Structure 1
Amino acid sequence: MGRLAGEDEVVDALVVGSGFGASVAAYRLAAAGRSVVVMERGRAYAPGDFARSPAQMGRNFWDPSEHLYGLFDAWTFRGLEGLVSSGLGGGSLIYANVLLRKDERWFVHESPLPGGGYEHWPLSRADLDPHYDAVERMLAATPYPYQDTPKTQAVERAAVALGMPATRPPLAVTFARAGEDPTPGRDLPAAGYGSIHGERGRRRTCSLCGECDLGCNTGAKNTLDHTYLSAAAAAQADVRTLHEVRGLRPLDGGGYRVTYVVHDPQAEGRTATRELPERHLVARRVVLGAGTFGTTFLLLRSRGSLPALGPALGTRFSGNGDLLTLLLGCTRDGAALSVDGGTGPVITTAVRTPDALDGDGAAGRGAYIEDAGFPGFLGWLVETAQLRTVARRSAAFAWQVVRNRTFAHGRSHISADLATLLGDGRLSAGSLPLLGMGRDVPDGRMSLRDGHLAVDWTTATSQAYFADLRERMAAIGAELGARLQDNPLWWAKRVVTVHPLGGAPVGRHAGEGVADAFGEVYGHRGLHVLDGAAMPGPVGANPALTIAAMADRACTRMLEQDWSWPRTAVHRAPAATPAVGGRSRASARPPRSVAFTERMTGAFALGEIDPQRGAALGRSVGSHLTFVLTITATDVEAFADDPLHRADATGHVDCDALGGRLDVERGWFELFVHPHGLAGRRMLYRLWLHDAGGSPLTLVGAKHVHDDAGLDVWADTTTLLVRVLAGHVPPPPADSPEQVEAVLTTLADDAVGAGPLATGAEVRGAGVLVIRPQDLARQLTTFRTTGGRGAATLATFGRLFLGELWDVYVDPRAARPTAGASR
């Protein structure tokens, strides 16, 4: 590690996140001797740290702006809910330990999607098998070893009766010490590479408590913090928690400058995360492993800094076919059957359903159905949730107490009565959740909407898949004498996914995928997507092992590549600030100022140079840009005398294509400039911005105010042609009449009238903005003056504005002052 240009920390690799892809990359790269920094937004959880009490669980969610730094991160989108984790170890902290390989036939090629396009996997099972082996060894995968667990026996027996194969999938759980039989609660020796948790990382064998999905407080789960991340730390990887990456941008000559913030749970009160101070780091390579939501969101926000990102960004989203149901009232031969979902790890058995790709006459899209146990204490919630039964037992108990005191000569022994009050627990003991996952249709799209992550996906195109899955779950329930109960969200045709996939899929070329088959982003050497976002479709099985194996394969390729790069300075905005035109006024009085607020919005698209074409493309894909600016003429007399009529502009720009809301760092507005040799006037805008990736941008725009056929004064004064340029491009200086003349000549040579092409700056995007009538009405109420004589100040501004309009539309031959002339 080191420093670049005396400022930014420099590392070989920055790994964003600490889930299955990120942790594998951190270990592989650090073990090869590369300097590695891991940034995980959540905190570390040693055994015993996971929430259990109601008070703890109420704070166990992730929303740092609300001073919540907990484990669970809940999302809601169109068609589905999502639940992921935030903590050192990523999804491994709350997953159900299953390490199934993706079925060989499910690596589909050009499988059609209903809305057009196709699902295509540019790699095969044979490509991944060696890496599956490596991950299984590291995570000590082993099938569930106990033979007397009720829920396991019940599901296996039902699967056999239905003719569907049932297996005990490999689990990343330690059930026994080396050379011993499985025994709950036995102390485990420390791994050879130690524990990233230090002395607090002591672990014990699985206690069969069913609390895997809440975080394992015994440390029996072989989660990524206990395995890959501990090994990475032992290899000198720098693992940092509560560090959240906000954006990245490529540097000339290679590498990336990464913007991040550091969360402080000890801070007093609520702190909006937008207000946290930004920090920077430079990395030769960046590995994105923040999960499907996190990685795709980061790429969408940084799109302005990563211009080579293709059309596949945000596509191929799926929930991996997740569906949760509940079997109620299991029976056998008319008697209650205890399946005891609270004993064992969450999942012990997997039932594979048929798939049309199996080639044996089956139809439909295949899936896995797995038992989904639950913590024992949730049984109390199940029992007490039956209000009628609880009320009936409570009334019976109260009557018995009265009867004992009144009619039974003071009978005082009530043990049997209390047992009746509590009930026999038949409902919870005889109930078993089922978790389904499989090959749903990956036709969802992820995007930014008002700066927030949005997912458009519904169950509509996957109806046949879900119908078949529910039918097979019901069949298992029938074999167990149980009734299938849907989760309440299913009634609204919504699902809950804990396995979101896609958004930055791998593909054979940039039109098909964001990254190649090894996860390296097309057009951006050294940027890698190695998590669930890289999946080009559903894994079908639990995706953790496949994500980790793809990351292991990618790291093998990465370590074979050239890591050298020229250490170039980081580009920053020019230090010099151009002066604002206008002649100075020596006056004993403070200058009189006028200000107003303007809102404009319209279609905008990246990759276009012409504003009209950019607007057409933006309308077709739903991409827009909006700004809200306060225009301030600090000295209205100087403003009126200045031939450029230059004022200051402050405010913000909202554009999802550029990453959301961008503050204006400095802005210039020029009213009714008259370029030499051109008819009419120009209203010019120039705004300095930084996108989410930290890249400097300049928005330039022009309103063309000229007299065409028809009455067009409204369109001319409310339509703005805009371009977004790379870098901070200053306006030309205008400190003297000669410089003003040069500016007016330059504007005359530019067809757009905003001067972007003359600068030689790269154009990142273009579009057309307008003022809507309601916004103009609101704008008229925002005029403010300072310095006294408010009416006179507004009159000065009004004379300038209306006078220029008169010259353009009524009497274009009227002589107007030239550069340097006084009004």
Structure 2
Amino acid sequence: MPVAEHVDAVVVGSGFGASVSAYRLAEAGRSVVLLERGRAYPPGSFARNPYEMSRAFWEPKDEMLGLFDVRSFRKLEGIVSAGLGGGSLIYANVLLRKDERWFVHDSPLPGGGYEHWPIGRDDLDRHYDAVESMMTPSPNPYTDLPKARALRDAAEAMGLQAFSPPLAVSFSSRPGAPAIPKQVVDEPSYGNLHGATRLTCRLCGECDIGCNEGSKNTLDHNYLSAAAAHGADLRTVCEVYGVTPLDGGGYEVRYVRYGEPDASGRHERTHLRITCDQLFLGAGTFGTTALLLRNRVGLPALGRALGTRFSGNGDLLTFCFGAQSTTEAGHTRMIDPAYGPVITTAIRKPDGLDEEGQGRGYYVQEAGFPEFTSWLVETAQVTASMRRAASVVSQIVAHRLTNKNESTISAEVAKLVGQGRLTSSSLPLLGMGRDTPDGRITLVDGEIDVEWTTATSKAYFDAMRETMQGLTDALGGKFRDNPLWWTKRVVTVHPLGGAPMGRAPQEGVVDSWGESFGHPGLFVVDGSAVPGPVGPNPSLTIAAMADRAIEHVLEKPRPIRRRAAEPEPPAMVEAPVEPTSGRGMEFTEKMKGHVALGETDPLAGWELGRQLAHRFMFQLTITAPDVERFAAGEDHTAIAEGYVDCDLLGGTLPVQRGWANLFVPADAALTREMRYRLWFSDMSGQPLTMYGFKTVRNDRGFDMWTDTSTLYITLMRGHVAPGENGAQDAPADVIGAGILRILPLDFARQLTTFRGSGSGALGSIARFGAFFAGSMKDVYLRPGPPAPGSVPAAASSPALKEPS
């Protein structure tokens, strides 16, 4: 890996928090490198046809580096983006401030804990002002849009008040000018990083799939362009995977840069590293939380709040189909949801925290969709399409059979197309608000998983659906849930939490300024730091929180610039010699148990790990290439190959080098140890060592099974070499501990895995069996218990030897 460069600040991601951070830091004269996993999308580059759309998704392991990152979890789906500008590329432009009374404090959560906002509206108001001045939002100026008028009419019929929220869209060429579609937008003083002409909004409803006109005031057109103008280095297709604190302060960041695809479609991957005095994580709720979870070894001070307080910001999608006019004739009402920005109008339902409300508050907004999708929706109505086609064909056939000359069949073709009533009279309804932030993000098989349910927010969702039903009834339409709701699942485009701010490490990952507890100079500046639902669309609040955090950073003394430190070379250990000839043998062993990070005692680690469901297992093939040499050697060394599996460390991880020493004499009389040393690396590339031992001795009672099936392990940072006698570890940083056991069924399978090699395969197995039996006999069939106090403390504890 090349020598690391060094800068004042590295910003990970380019969404609302990251872009604000990069700009404010660069403006203040700091050297800034921004690392964004996706690519840049200038106007005109967003997918529109089916071929382009099929490649517009993010899945690097399948060589897909597109815009849309779609996640599916047990009780919800999530949609986020990968591109320079983050979520602003596909959001619906709404910039609303969080309601003053919705900054709750000590609000109880199911299962314990509290939703607590350590900041309030007063802390953010001037930062809201700063963001708005940069993104220049304005309400929809086209108040006569049918869909906007429809939601206002429905709200009035229900006694609710509708309003036009500020939208980050350029409706006019410059502030104060009249709204005219497809006019050239004036370029700001800091320029535009794409160097492409932007046009004012043409009301095409394509906001959520990327604006090809450049009408949206996305972050690449303002904050990121301004950051680049101040010298920030914006690097795209660079995905961060590793973070390590440096001695004396600062951080090393490891990332992969994706190259152009080759003929087979595979992208070249270049691994790079960079060091910085301060690190700002803004990769979004899923991205930042996953990065922190995968780097818990390198960031040991991260508390147990990591992964907690997840919320979908109360997102819910329903549909009003077939709206009818309010006249006696009851004609189809033209709503035309594809005409205009995705969202133009909103309704706010008060919260119990408000003077006039009750329950948990929410917003309902009308939604649109791109014009071209109307064709997809209409033709998807198979029954109606077939009926129209049959009618047209029958008329043409009738003309031919009757010899009737009618060369013009435009009316028939018009019937084939249909009247478009479904799409023109339908309206998606978007809800968001204060759901219960009691979800948890964890790692499973190296990938993030979200444990969250609608059950604890049932009253909230019921109230919102009732309002949406009322709006649909007022429009004379048919109310339909998102089909996912039938399985109590929701789709969120506003995932929040995972690295929440709090008053102390027990409550949050970062403080009220976004700085990590225990890791100075590490900041979280995106939605993962939000300690609960924002309520309205959260983008503006995330940006304001980041602006506040960076202002605080700039007010403090500037960190001392450090030179990039070269990593120390890993310790070199001679592997067991593999003879060129001889009788060898091997068997496979699987052990399972629990570990906990931050513990050094195996029993304490096992007890805590079991409570937290932090599982650890390994499957190893133990090989003695020469059984005679193995049995005659002092340390009885064999080679261990295989993998470990621990979600805390990133899932399934291959063993890079491993050793097993079986029935090694211990310091205590009539005691043997089986020792295991495995070198591997966690998902972020941090080298780790697992050292474990089984203590085999003749205690009172029948404990042979417990002795030979129980392994006490410690996890150490780095690839730690054995001591001179192969038993004592070199000085190491122990980061975790626990206990593993062989389950009876796994042991039965293990007995079937013995294999011999070389000349006399059966003889090699027999020789190993004789060694094993002799060692057991020496321990269990000789009189005299071990001398008191002669066994290691960890191994002498009855509780440690008998985990249940």
* TM-score in terms of structure 2 length: 0.94
Question: Larger deviation: 716-725 or 399-408?
Answer: 399-408
Q: Offset of 1:187 from its aligned partner?
A: 1.6
Residue equivalent to 2:802 = none
Describe how 1:448-597 pairs up with structure 2 within 5 A: 448-565=443-560, 567=562, 570=565, 572=567, 575-579=570-574, 590-597=581-588
Residue equivalent to 1:167 = 163
Residue equivalent to 1:779 = 750
The residue type paired with residue 779 of structure 1 is Q
Q: Offset of 1:364 from its aligned partner?
A: 1.2
Q: How far apart, in 2, do the equivalents of 1:106 and 1:351 lie?
A: 16
Correspondence 1:184 to 2:181:
yes
Residue equivalent to 1:70 = 66
Q: Offset of 1:387 from its aligned partner?
A: 2.3
Q: Offset of 1:648 from its aligned partner?
A: 2.6
Q: How far apart, in 2, do the equivalents of 1:9 and 1:244 lie?
A: 17
Q: How far apart, in 2, do the equivalents of 1:101 and 1:343 lie?
A: 26
Q: How far apart, in 2, do the equivalents of 1:482 and 1:676 lie?
A: 82
Correspondence 1:671 to 2:657:
no
Q: Offset of 1:574 from its aligned partner?
A: 5.0
Correspondence 1:646 to 2:637:
yes
Q: How far apart, in 2, do the equivalents of 1:812 and 1:682 lie?
A: 19
**The one of 285, 291, 294 aligned to 1:298:** 291
Residue equivalent to 1:430 = 425
CA deviations over 1:764-818 (Å, ceiling 9, x no partner): 111111122333333334444444332232233222222111211223689xxxx
Correspondence 1:791 to 2:762:
yes
**The one of 693, 715, 718 aligned to 1:724:** 715
Q: How far apart, in 2, do the equivalents of 1:569 and 1:237 lie?
A: 19
Q: Offset of 1:523 from its aligned partner?
A: 0.3
The answer as to whether partners of 2:445 and 2:650 remain within 8 angstroms in 1 is: no
Correspondence 1:32 to 2:28:
yes
The answer as to whether partners of 2:253 and 2:274 remain within 8 angstroms in 1 is: yes
Question: Larger deviation: 554-563 or 24-33?
Answer: 554-563
The answer as to whether partners of 1:580 and 1:646 remain within 8 angstroms in 2 is: no
**The one of 648, 658, 674 aligned to 2:649:** 658
Describe how 1:78-117 pairs up with structure 2 within 5 A: 78-117=74-113
Describe how 1:261-340 pairs up with structure 2 within 5 A: 261-269=256-264, 276=269, 278-332=271-325, 333=327, 334-340=330-336
Change (3 A) 1:566 1:404: closer
Residue equivalent to 2:339 = 343
Q: Offset of 1:142 from its aligned partner?
A: 0.9
**The one of 805, 810, 813 aligned to 2:776:** 805
Correspondence 1:121 to 2:92:
no
Change (3 A) 1:576 1:500: closer
**Other structure's SS at 1:278 match:** strand
The alignment's C-alpha RMSD in Å is 2.1
Residue equivalent to 1:768 = 739
Q: Offset of 1:69 from its aligned partner?
A: 1.2
**Other structure's SS at 1:358 match:** coil
Residue equivalent to 1:388 = 383
Describe how 1:741-756 pairs up with structure 2 within 5 A: 755-756=728-729
CA deviations over 1:6-27 (Å, ceiling 9, x no partner): 9211111111111111111111
**Other structure's SS at 1:38 match:** strand
CA deviations over 1:363-399 (Å, ceiling 9, x no partner): 1111111110111111112222222222221221111
The residue type paired with residue 714 of structure 1 is W
Q: How far apart, in 2, do the equivalents of 1:268 and 1:604 lie?
A: 45
Q: Offset of 1:270 from its aligned partner?
A: 6.5
Q: Offset of 1:504 from its aligned partner?
A: 0.5
Q: How far apart, in 2, do the equivalents of 1:283 and 1:304 lie?
A: 19
CA deviations over 1:522-562 (Å, ceiling 9, x no partner): 00001111111011100000000000110010000111223
Q: How far apart, in 1, do the equivalents of 2:742 and 2:633 lie?
A: 26
Q: Offset of 1:95 from its aligned partner?
A: 0.3
**Other structure's SS at 1:158 match:** helix
Q: How far apart, in 1, do the equivalents of 2:6 and 2:21 lie?
A: 18
CA deviations over 1:436-459 (Å, ceiling 9, x no partner): 100011010111112221111011
Q: Offset of 1:182 from its aligned partner?
A: 0.7
Q: Offset of 1:92 from its aligned partner?
A: 0.5
- Number of equivalences: 781
CA deviations over 1:195-223 (Å, ceiling 9, x no partner): 2223xx22110110000000000000011
Q: Offset of 1:694 from its aligned partner?
A: 3.9
Q: How far apart, in 2, do the equivalents of 1:158 and 1:786 lie?
A: 80
Change (3 A) 1:574 1:792: farther
The residue type paired with residue 225 of structure 1 is D
Q: Offset of 1:566 from its aligned partner?
A: 7.0
Give the share of equivalent positions with the same residue, in percent. 56
Correspondence 1:680 to 2:671:
yes
**Other structure's SS at 1:304 match:** coil
Question: Larger deviation: 437-446 or 258-267?
Answer: 258-267
Q: Where in structure 1 do 4 or more consecutive aligned residues deviate above 4 Å?
A: 568-576
The answer as to whether partners of 2:500 and 2:529 remain within 8 angstroms in 1 is: yes
Q: How far apart, in 1, do the equivalents of 2:608 and 2:28 lie?
A: 46
Q: Offset of 1:631 from its aligned partner?
A: 2.4
Structure 1: runs of 5+ lacking an equivalent: 734-739, 748-754, 815-823
**Other structure's SS at 1:75 match:** strand
**Other structure's SS at 1:640 match:** helix
Q: Offset of 1:613 from its aligned partner?
A: 1.6
Residue equivalent to 1:249 = 244
Q: How far apart, in 1, do the equivalents of 2:679 and 2:294 lie?
A: 18
Q: How far apart, in 2, do the equivalents of 1:320 and 1:352 lie?
A: 15
Residue equivalent to 1:368 = 363
**Other structure's SS at 1:811 match:** coil
The residue type paired with residue 672 of structure 2 is R
Change (3 A) 1:54 1:411: same
Correspondence 1:354 to 2:321:
no
The residue type paired with residue 30 of structure 1 is A
Structure 2: runs of 5+ lacking an equivalent: 786-804
**Other structure's SS at 1:399 match:** helix
The residue type paired with residue 134 of structure 1 is A
Q: How far apart, in 2, do the equivalents of 1:48 and 1:761 lie?
A: 55
CA deviations over 1:127-160 (Å, ceiling 9, x no partner): 1111111111111111111122111111122223
The answer as to whether partners of 2:94 and 2:166 remain within 8 angstroms in 1 is: yes
The residue type paired with residue 538 of structure 1 is P
Change (3 A) 1:688 1:173: same
Q: How far apart, in 2, do the equivalents of 1:421 and 1:48 lie?
A: 32
Residue equivalent to 1:617 = 608
Q: Offset of 1:494 from its aligned partner?
A: 0.6
Correspondence 1:417 to 2:388:
no
* TM-score in terms of structure 1 length: 0.91
Change (3 A) 1:647 1:562: farther
Q: How far apart, in 1, do the equivalents of 2:575 and 2:74 lie?
A: 48
The residue type paired with residue 257 of structure 1 is E
**The one of 383, 401, 404 aligned to 1:406:** 401
CA deviations over 1:41-78 (Å, ceiling 9, x no partner): 11111111111111111121111111211111111112
Q: How far apart, in 2, do the equivalents of 1:240 and 1:571 lie?
A: 23
The residue type paired with residue 805 of structure 1 is M
Question: Larger deviation: 682-691 or 505-514?
Answer: 682-691
Question: Larger deviation: 496-505 or 139-148?
Answer: 139-148
CA deviations over 1:624-645 (Å, ceiling 9, x no partner): 1111223233333322221111
Question: Larger deviation: 259-268 or 413-422?
Answer: 259-268
Residue equivalent to 2:797 = none
Q: How far apart, in 2, do the equivalents of 1:677 and 1:440 lie?
A: 60
Q: How far apart, in 1, do the equivalents of 2:401 and 2:521 lie?
A: 83
**Other structure's SS at 2:261 match:** coil
